[in-house]
Structures are given as structure tokens and as C-alpha cells.
């Protein structure tokens, strides 16, 4: 694509956002039937911003719509787009490029953009390897998108917008400095839920995240001040910001009153860290007296009896904790800043409050040994966890742990395999078989406990919950029979 282009005529201001056709098998391996299908929140914000600028916006969510790879380009071109924007993770970027190639072959004048965590982590390398993308967006997207669309409207060069990485006319990749200011969340328009086809019916939660139905997740804050070495916080940074309370409640009002949502999952990284604002949200939920229940991600360090009591009164039914490991040596190494005893205490307080707990546990970190794996297994047996999400350490690019990988283990996967459920890294002193056996043993011993098994039986009385439970049970059975996915 040669820039600058003539100004885009008002009738050609058509923007199509695309979620690449990553399948449940790509994302979850043997646990595919048990996985989530969640709305593309980035596009709900970006789409609202583009509409404010006079652009017609559509979303082609290939996984939700069941569009296979070979048909994606044709589906996108039905919207007659001038600009196509892809959201890409490390796992999905190759498929996004394949779809972009298909669009370019049939509509060579279409402007192809890509954003998301992978572009932010590896902007130059990605465009060097996948030059089909004309523009890459680094970091938060709303103000960058505004700049790009305004340049296109005016007929000036969008490659000069801050936060853009692009191919220049000589074939070199150029990266513009990030915009100086964070996105003003208070100034953002309301989430554009109406852009999603058949929302919420095309999206679903895993059985371990589902209570009432219909279900949706919601993201109302950005950033994480914690320093876990394995986590990618390049997009939103370490400053924690939330939408104003009025905007949060307006979004919940629309989900409840327009779309009939009964169950919400706040998938924010660190919403509870903003304690005063979080308490205000809980009080507002109590005052609204919605017929909904909700769950949230949290850190065990954020928990005390007082906040749990308020959350329970506000309708919280489950908290998903980033426990990560039961070994103090591993927790120190990944800079978790919480001891196993602190983690256990938070789980015990949660059980006492009447709120269920879901634990995120990761095995296979750099420095993991048979001893630390045994400590994690013992920890899981000793604490009151209601559900468990067990995954493998995944070496995402440009995270703080990257330098710790060299000489401490074997990288065994390419970009397309980085999904938490493939074995993508094997620490020194362990084998793939060690990790597979530990994974199966933990999952079997946990989910076949009589108490855990019995806790899911009430789900059978509600059709949608029963479907989610059967999907989860099938996935677990498949995993135990054949083992987790791994790169061969």
C-alpha cells in the first residue's frame, strides 16, 4: 500500500474489525469443549470510537460465527471495507496474516491494520515476517485509531501517527513513538454491544465460570501494578485506571436491561486493586438490586473479610485467584510477592464468606523441579479450592521472564502453539513426560474428588448450565485419556 491516499469519501468510510479464525482446539487442545467464547472487548471500544468519527463499523468474529479459515476473506469483503483491522495474539497472528492475504488478493486497495498484545510485544519483527499488514498499532488503540482515521479522511499519511509501526516505501519497517498520554477512559463512548451478531447467544462461559445465564464478561479497567515476570502488561502498562462509576453502571444497565444478562464475569486484570472505586461499584450494585450474579479476577493479597462480605452482598458468587504455584521458591522467582500461607489464608476466608474460589495454577516455570511440582500438588490438596484452571507456563514474547529462559530450559514451540495448554517450554531437569504426567495427575485428583464432583450436580437442573457442564466433562475426559497438547 502506497501512502498517502486520496481523502476517503464519506460513503467509503467503512471499517471492518476481524477476530481471526482461531478454533477452540487451537486455544485449548483436548480441553476445547470446556473453553470460553468471549466477546472481543477491544472492538467494542474501538468500534464506538470509529462511529463517533463518522465511520460505518462492522465486526466479523470468526470463532463466534463459526467461519472457517478459507471463508474469512469473503465474509470480510461482504462489508465492502476500506479498512480492515485485526486483533492478534501471538497464537493467532499467523492466521490473521493468512486472512489478510486473502483480502489483499481480492481487494488490493484495502488498508490492512493489526493490533493487540502480539503487535505491541513484537511490532518490528511481526511486520518484517508478515508484511501483508500495512499498519500495526502499538499499545492502547483508541487514540491511535482516531489518528489513523483522521489522516485517511484528510488524505494525509497515517503512518506518521504516534503508536504506529509500518512498512515504508523502501521496504524498511518504521516504528513511531508511542502517544504521550494514556487513553482518557472517561472520554470513551459507551461500549458498542450492538455491533456483535446475536449477542449474547453466540458467546458462552466455561462450566467453571458459569452460574446464571445468559452470561457475558465485562472489562472496565486497564493496567496492573504488579510485576509477575511471566505476564504481558505491555499494552496497558502498570498504571491502573477504571471507567468512572457512572459509565460502569451504564454498561451493566445495558447488559441487564437490553440483553437480559444474568451473570457477569469482570475479566479485568486488577479491578479490585482500586479499592475505593471497587467498593463504590459494589455499593452501586447493591443499590441497583439487579437479578444478577457476578465473578471477578483477583489477587489473594487484595482479600480480607470486610471486602468479601461486601462483595457477597453485592452478588459476587466466585473469585478467580492468580495463585500460580504452591511452591514458595517458584513464587519468589516469578515475583508473585505472596507466600503459599498467604494464598491459603485468602482461600480459607473466601470459603468462609460463602463465595466460591477458582484457582489459576501454572506448572513448568523456569526453575521448576520435581520438588516444586510436588509442593504445588500438596498445596492444591490442602486448600479449599472449588474449581481449578491448570495450565502450562507459556513463554510469551517480550515479558520480564524472557531473559530467564536462556540456559534454563528448552523452548519447544512456535508462535502458533502459545496457548497455555501446549507444552511450549521444558525446564532443565524435567521432561515433557514429567509435565504431562503431573498435569493429568493434578486434574484427575482434583476433579474426581467427591466434593468437587458433587458441587456440579445442581448445574444439571438448568439446561444451559448442563450443556456447559457436559462440554467441560467431555473435555476433561479427553484430556485424561490422551494428555494435554504438546509440540512434537
Q: Identify the pLDDT of residue 266.
A: 96
Provide the β-strand partners of residue 166.
Answer: 135, 174
Residue 385 Rama label (left phi>0; alpha psi -120 to 50; beta): beta
What structural domains does the chain harbor? 10-175 (3.40.50.280), 204-482 (3.20.20.70)
| Sign of the torsion angle spanned by Cα atoms 430, 421, 45, 121 | positive
Phi and psi torsions of 175, nearest 5°: -115, 120
For the chain, the maximum distance between any two Cα atoms, rounded to a whole number of angstroms, is: 67
Query: In this structure, are residues 136 and 119 in contact, taking their beta carbons and an 8 Å threshold?
Result: yes
Q: Identify the pLDDT of residue 462.
A: 60
DSSP states of 305-324: HHHHHHHHHTTEEEEEEEEE
pTM: 0.90
Q: Identify the pLDDT of residue 468.
A: 60
CA 436/CA 451 separation, integer angstroms: 25
Provide the β-strand partners of residue 167.
Answer: 173
One digit per residue, the tens of pLDDT, for the chain of length 488 reads: 789 999 999 999 999 999 999 887 777 766 655 567 899 999 999 999 999 999 999 999 999 999 999 999 999 999 999 999 999 999 999 999 999 999 999 999 999 999 999 999 999 999 999 999 999 999 999 999 999 999 999 999 999 999 999 988 888 999 999 998 899 999 999 999 999 999 999 998 876 777 788 999 999 999 888 888 888 777 777 788 999 999 999 999 999 999 999 999 999 988 999 999 999 999 999 999 999 999 999 999 999 999 999 999 999 999 999 999 999 999 999 998 899 999 999 999 999 999 999 999 999 999 999 999 999 999 999 999 999 999 999 998 888 888 778 888 998 778 888 888 889 999 999 999 999 999 999 999 998 887 776 666 665 556 666 666 666 665 566 666 666 754 43
DSSP states of 344-402: HHHHHHHHHHT-EEEEEEEE--TT--HHHHHHHHHHHHHS--SEEEEEE----TTSTTH
Q: Identify the pLDDT of residue 487.
A: 46
CA 176/CA 159 separation, integer angstroms: 8
Beta-carbon-side half-sphere exposure of residue 273 (alpha carbons within 13 Å): 19
Which residues, at least 6 apart from 389, have a Cβ–Cβ distance to it below 8 Å? Answer: 208, 320, 358, 359, 360, 361
CA 287/CA 386 separation, integer angstroms: 29
| Sign of the torsion angle spanned by Cα atoms 470, 476, 477, 478 | positive
Amino acid at each position: 500500500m502506497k501512502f498517502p491516499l486520496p481523502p476517503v469519501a464519506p460513503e467509503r468510510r467503512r471499517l471492518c474489525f476481524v477476530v481471526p479464525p482461531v478454533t477452540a482446539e487451537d486455544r485449548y487442545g483436548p480441553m476445547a469443549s470446556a473453553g470460553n467464547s468471549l466477546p472481543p472487548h477491544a472492538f467494542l471500544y474501538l468500534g464506538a470510537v470509529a462511529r463517533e468519527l463518522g465511520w460505518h463499523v462492522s465486526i466479523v468474529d470468526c470463532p463466534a460465527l463459526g467461519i472457517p479459515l478459507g471463508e474469512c476473506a469473503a465474509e470480510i469483503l461482504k462489508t465492502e471495507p476500506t479498512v480492515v483491522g485485526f486483533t492478534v495474539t501471538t497464537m493467532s497472528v499467523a492466521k490473521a496474516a493468512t486472512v489478510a492475504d486473502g483480502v489483499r488478493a481480492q481487494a488490493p486497495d484495502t488498508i490492512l491494520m493489526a493490533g493487540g498484545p502480539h503487535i505491541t510485544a513484537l511490532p518490528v519483527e511481526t511486520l518484517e515476517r508478515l508484511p501483508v499488514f500495512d499498519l500495526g498499532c502499538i499499545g492502547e488503540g483508541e487514540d491511535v485509531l482516531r489518528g489513523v482515521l483522521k489522516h485517511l479522511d484528510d488524505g494525509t499519511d497515517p503512518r506518521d501517527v504516534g503508536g504506529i509501526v509500518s512498512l515504508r516505501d523502501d521496504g524498511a519497517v518504521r516504528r513511531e513513538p508511542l502517544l504521550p498520554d494514556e487513553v482518557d477512559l472517561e472520554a470513551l463512548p459507551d461500549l458498542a454491544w450492538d455491533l456483535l451478531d446475536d449477542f449474547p447467544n453466540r458467546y458462552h462461559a466455561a462450566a467453571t465460570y458459569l452460574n446464571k445465564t445468559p452470561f457475558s464478561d465485562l472489562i472496565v479497567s486497564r493496567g496492573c501494578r504488579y510485576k509477575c515476570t511471566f505476564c504481558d502488561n505491555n499494552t496497558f502498562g502498570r498504571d491502573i485506571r477504571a471507567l468512572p462509576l457512572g459509565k460502569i453502571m451504564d454498561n451493566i444497565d445495558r447488559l441487564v436491561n437490553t440483553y437480559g444478562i444474568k451473570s457477569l464475569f469482570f475479566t479485568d486484570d486488577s479491578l479490585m486493586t482500586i479499592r475505593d472505586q471497587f467498593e463504590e461499584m459494589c455499593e452501586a450494585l447493591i443499590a441497583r438490586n439487579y437479578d444478577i450474579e457476578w465473578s471477578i479476577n483477583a489477587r489473594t493479597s487484595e482479600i480480607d473479610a470486610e471486602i468479601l462480605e461486601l462483595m457477597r452482598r453485592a452478588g459476587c458468587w466466585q473469585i478467580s485467584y492468580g495463585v500460580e504455584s504452591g511452591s514458595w521458591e517458584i513464587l519468589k522467582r516469578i515475583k508473585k510477592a505472596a507466600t503459599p500461607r498467604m494464598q491459603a489464608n485468602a482461600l480459607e476466608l473466601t470459603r468462609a464468606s460463602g463465595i466460591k474460589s477458582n484457582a489459576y495454577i501454572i506448572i513448568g516455570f523456569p526453575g521448576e523441579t520435581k520438588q516444586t511440582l510436588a509442593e504445588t500438588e500438596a498445596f492444591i490438596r490442602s486448600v479449599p479450592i472449588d474449581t481449578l484452571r491448570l495450565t502450562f507456563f507459556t513463554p510469551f514474547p517480550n515479558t520480564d521472564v524472557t531473559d530467564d529462559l536462556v540456559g534454563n530450559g528448552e523452548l519447544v514451540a512456535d508462535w502458533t502453539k502459545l496457548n497455555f495448554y501446549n507444552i511450549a517450554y521444558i525446564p532443565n531437569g524435567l521432561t515433557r513426560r514429567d509435565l504431562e504426567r503431573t498435569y493429568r495427575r493434578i486434574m484427575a485428583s482434583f476433579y474426581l474428588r467427591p466434593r468437587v464432583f458433587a458441587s456440579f450436580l445442581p448445574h444439571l437442573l438448568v439446561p444451559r448450565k448442563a450443556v456447559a457442564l457436559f462440554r467441560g466433562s467431555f473435555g476433561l475426559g479427553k484430556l485424561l485419556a490422551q494428555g494435554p497438547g504438546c509440540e512434537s
